[in-house]
Amino acid sequence: MRHIFLIIIALFLLAGPAISAELVVRSDFEGGSAEVVSISTSERKVTVRPALKKGRGFPCWWYFRLTGLDVGESYQVTTEPARGVYRQDEVLAAQWSLPDQAAISFDDQDWKQTSTGKKSNGSITYQFQAESPQVWLAWGPPFLPSTAEQLLNKAKAELPEAEIFELSETRQQRPVKGIRFGAVDRLEEKPFGIWVQARQHAWEAGGSWVGQGFLQWAISDEPAAVELRSKSVIHFVPIMDVDNVADGAGGKNAFPRDHNRDWDDRPVYPEVRAAQERIKYLDHEQRFDLFIDLHNPGASEKDAYFFGPNLKQLSKTQRQNYDRLLNCAVDHIGKMKKEFLYPSYVKDDEEYNRMSGTWVINHTAEHVVSVTLETGWNRPEGNQLGYQQVGAELGQSIGDYFQRNPREVDADSK
């Protein structure tokens, strides 16, 4: 009789409502960043903010794993801006941390966007339905050093003649890697030189995804890509500020220097010095023509655009090449502004001259074009596919640009 009673109790328990696992937030992995404000398993609600890493730049990047989900149920994640001073007396404005749509993944590989979040009292709440017991959420689709490693190895496998190189080690002894390919077997013919790099600001993950789109186009069998490789040598570095990316820090305005304010005669960051040395060598060998630094802008800037030099200070030769690159980009890149912008927010000429684009202009031949491509992130296209589409379109723009030799001056420009 006692056994029958126990069996009945067991069956009753099995038939009863399932007990949900506790919701748990973790960010102790590559690129992770989150400070938990509150968790309510019963209400299926979580509130987080970016981890404040003093001295490591803008505290706007957040990326975490949430476990304990019930498949099919709806959950809410609220994100608040980081609190406190991140450098000296600076507190970051909220809009940098609160994208209209968060990045979401149920496998930490394939990233989509949530529906548009609801903003209230300086925070934003995203809602989603659980497709598995765990989910990853982030400010934008993460692009990590491990992502870069996979990308470069895949590119090498698809284009065996390409060379993966180590630009340098970081201050924390992490490798900064890139890939070189194109007309490397015809250097005596002085092929065109193209340098594309991303992530001088670690939080700007979209820049690396744009770079991935560019690389995938540039190594492809597209006739324009094949032609470009036949007459140029391309260097691509997917992540410059590897340390801050790996540690889940923002990087911009970091101590002792912003990565993109370190381009002078005594750079703090070894990877900046190494890039300078390679670029100067290529220019000395008359094999350098185009420099593009990939970034993401502010939250309100939805389009893509180039930061360029002060056009009034350019020679006719320089203006000819800058105008032509812009025209090629406008022809190919969706939502591309039809004019160069100038970084008027930079406080003085001394700081301006320490930016990568300006340094390249000041240390290379007159015909060289040096620009920053800013791709809007706070928009429906601010995802893996959207960024990579911009990258492919950038490649097409570059291919068009080199249909003419930028080293030759038009007769009417003399």
Note the pLDDT of residue 299: 97
Note the pLDDT of residue 411: 53
**Closest by CA position to 413, among listed 326, 324, 327, 317:** 317
C-beta neighbour count of 331 within 10 angstroms: 12
Q: Give residues with Cβ within 8 angstroms of 396, minimum separation 6.
A: 217, 224, 332
* Tens digit of each residue's pLDDT (9 = 90 or more) over 338-389: 999 999 889 899 999 999 999 999 999 999 999 999 999 999 999 999 999 9
**Contact 308/290 with Cβ under 8 angstroms?**
no
User: What is the pLDDT of the chain when averaged over all its residues?
Assistant: 95
Note the pLDDT of residue 20: 67
The model's pTM: 0.94
Question: To 5 degrees, how large is the angle CA 227–CA 230–CA 236?
Answer: 95
Note the pLDDT of residue 6: 44
Q: Which two tokens stand for residue 219?
A: 């190594």
Note the pLDDT of residue 29: 99
Note the pLDDT of residue 9: 45
Backbone angles phi, psi at 225, to 5 degrees: -70, -40
Residue 40's pLDDT band (boundaries 50, 70, 90)?
Answer: very high
Q: Which CA distances in Å does 219 have to 152, 216, 239, 344?
A: 11, 6, 19, 36
Residue 256 carries which side chain, given as an amino acid letter?
P
Residue 12's pLDDT band (boundaries 50, 70, 90)?
Answer: very low
Q: Which two tokens stand for residue 344?
A: 């008027």
Strand pairing category for 103-105 and 134-138:
antiparallel
Note the pLDDT of residue 10: 47
Q: Which two tokens stand for residue 346?
A: 């930079």
Q: What is the Cα–Cα distance from 270 to 242, expressed in whole angstroms?
A: 11
- The arithmetic mean of pLDDT across residues 271-280, rounded, is 99
Domains of the chain: 24-138 (2.60.40.3120), 145-413 (3.40.630.10)
Strand pairing category for 45-49 and 35-40:
antiparallel
- The arithmetic mean of pLDDT across residues 5-15, rounded, is 45
* Tens digit of each residue's pLDDT (9 = 90 or more) over 292-327: 999 999 999 999 999 999 999 999 999 999 999 999
Note the pLDDT of residue 19: 57
Q: What is the Cα–Cα distance from 169 to 268, expressed in whole angstroms?
A: 12
Burial of 189: CB neighbours in 10 Å, binned 0-12, 13-18, 19+: exposed
Note the pLDDT of residue 361: 97
Q: What is the Cα–Cα distance from 279 to 284, expressed in whole angstroms?
A: 9
In the predicted model, is pLDDT for residue 1 greater than 70? no
* Tens digit of each residue's pLDDT (9 = 90 or more) over 106-140: 999 999 999 999 999 999 999 999 999 999 999 99
Burial of 45: CB neighbours in 10 Å, binned 0-12, 13-18, 19+: middle
Note the pLDDT of residue 128: 99
Percent of the chain having pLDDT more than 70? 94
Give the residue with greater pLDDT, 101 vs 413.
101
Note the pLDDT of residue 88: 87
* Tens digit of each residue's pLDDT (9 = 90 or more) over 157-173: 999 999 999 999 999 99
Alpha carbon of residue 5 to chain centroid: 62
Residue 412's pLDDT band (boundaries 50, 70, 90)?
Answer: low
**Contact 327/373 with Cβ under 8 angstroms?**
no
The answer to whether the Cα torsion of 62, 152, 209, 85 is positive or negative is positive
Q: Give residues with Cβ within 8 angstroms of 290, minimum separation 6.
A: 192, 193, 194, 195, 325, 368, 369, 370, 398, 401, 406
**For the range 347-355, what are the long-range contacts, defined as Cβ-Cβ under 8 Å and sequence gap of 24 or more?**
351/261, 353/264, 354/261, 354/262, 354/263, 354/264, 355/260, 355/261, 355/263
